[in-house]
Amino acid sequence: MTTDLRPTNTLTIDPERLWHTLEVSAGIGPGKAGGLSRLTLSDDDKAMRDQFVTWCQDAGCTVTVDPVGNIFARREGRDPELTPVVMGSHLDTQIAGGRYDGILGVLSGLEVIRTLNDRDIRTRRPIEVVCWTNEEGVRFQPPMMGAGVFAGVHDLNWVLSQTDDAGLTFGDEVARIGYAGSVQRDAADIDAYFELHIEQGPILDAQKVPVGIVTGGFTSFGAELEIAGENAHSGPTPMAARKDALVGAALIVARLHEIGWGYAPEGRATCARLDVSPNRYGIIADQATVVIDVRHPDPDLADEMFQKALHALPDVAERSGTDVSKVKDWSFGDVAFDAGLIDLIQSTARDLDVAHIPILSAAGHDAYHLSRIAPTAMIFTPCVDGITHNENEDIELASTVPGVNVLLHAVLRRANA
């Protein structure tokens, strides 16, 4: 044991400071109902990023930004030649999002660094906190873009060329808010990646267990489908002559719903978005876009669900008189988190006397991409009733602090190993 390691029972984060930090974040980009609407690369995202950078610099960290806007705050170790232990998540939110999804992970990382500063603890390895860009995928798809570029899953220039609903490109927007950085990080330059996140499900809250150790994720497939029809009058146009894009989209929505039920309860199928044009009374729609999303804990079954959805498309096209094409697709979640890090988190929780259970993640996380390039693990903490992607998302400080302390000690052990 090195002299830097204090007895574990005396080292704990400062819960009030963490809560205050979360409250400051909750004031930046507020939604309509008490949550947040802080879309990626928006002015509010910039304000939050600026605040985060200030906090990190005040904590003595060196801050760098890469070309996709990922922010890295580094606390130097005794041996700066060693690769860092990294913690992170995201500060962007859903359009009607909560105060904690992603945010808790980033700000817990900051709290870990502040706690080490309080005790003047130097670690052998450097420690970093990262804010990944556009985890949510609300403004630009796919989700988890920043982590995806970092891990080599997405091409940087492709990501920079993606557009939002207003036609603005990711590249122009990340530059506009001042976060098109120039530091190119080497993906191999990470010793380990830890992500703390609210569970976004009901299990921990229902069981009154403060820590879930994530063993893997649901496999997810998503796609953006375009349905091309033809404008016509709602009255004179016979049914047989119609090329109705809205009907095509509706058939896809209904089919996805059936597929989801066919694989319930584990399987999930969603059409979260439908855009239709011109979307006016009296005129048949000539254009529609549907975003589909299927998820299952068994990767083969997730793939089967996705293939069923795709195989339904020719029939949809025929019945609606339209052309249906897939313009974009993605997948994530078929990951194995690192057995060594899972063990480390387990033994840390045990030593701290924190109750914990193994758990699967049904949501997407930046950690999925990181797991391709570095030993990666996730710690889940409870959220009230599992409510998330909802402005009523809530957590209790008392049931959150144990998880953050597990993060602190696991990172400390890894950084001093």
Positions touching Zn ion (CB under 5 A) are 101-102
Q: In the bound complex, what is the minimum distance in angstroms from residue 134's beta carbon to Zn ion? A: 11
Q: Which is nearer to Zn ion, 137 or 210 (CB)?
A: 137
Q: In the bound complex, what is the minimum distance in angstroms from residue 38's beta carbon to Zn ion? A: 12
Structure-block tokens of residue 263 = 């694989």
Q: What are the two backbone dihedrals, phi and then psi, of residue 154, each rounded to the nearest 5 degrees?
A: -115, 145
Q: Which is nearer to Zn ion, 101 or 391 (CB)?
A: 101
Q: What's the Cα-to-Cα distance from 39 to each of 69, 187, 204, 225, rounded to whole Å?
A: 14, 26, 28, 23
CA angle 157, 51, 66 (to 5 degrees): 20
Q: Which is nearer to Zn ion, 361 or 399 (CB)?
A: 361
For residues 197 and 369, what is the distance between their CA atoms, to the nearest angstrom? Answer: 15
Q: Which is nearer to Zn ion, 88 or 102 (CB)?
A: 102
For residues 311 and 352, what is the distance between their CA atoms, to the nearest angstrom? Answer: 51
Q: In the bound complex, what is the minimum distance in angstroms from residue 97's beta carbon to Zn ion? A: 9
342-365: b or e for each residue (b if 16 or more CB lie within 10 Å)? bebbbebbeebebebeebbbbbbb
Q: Which is nearer to Zn ion, 138 or 290 (CB)?
A: 138
Q: Which is nearer to Zn ion, 92 or 191 (CB)?
A: 92
Is the separation of the CB atoms in 152 and 143 below 8 Å?
A: no
Q: In the bound complex, what is the minimum distance in angstroms from residue 326's beta carbon to Zn ion? A: 26
Strands of 252-375, DSSP E: 268-277, 287-296, 323-332, 356-361
Q: In the bound complex, what is the minimum distance in angstroms from residue 389's beta carbon to Zn ion? A: 9
Q: In the bound complex, what is the minimum distance in angstroms from residue 351's beta carbon to Zn ion? A: 28
Is the separation of the CB atoms in 193 and 147 below 8 Å?
A: no
**Which residues are paired to 63 by β-bridges?**
73
Is 145 in a helix, a strand, or coil?
Answer: helix
Q: In the bound complex, what is the minimum distance in angstroms from residue 247's beta carbon to Zn ion? A: 35
* Residue number, nearest CB to Zn ion: 102
Q: Which is nearer to Zn ion, 197 or 296 (CB)?
A: 197
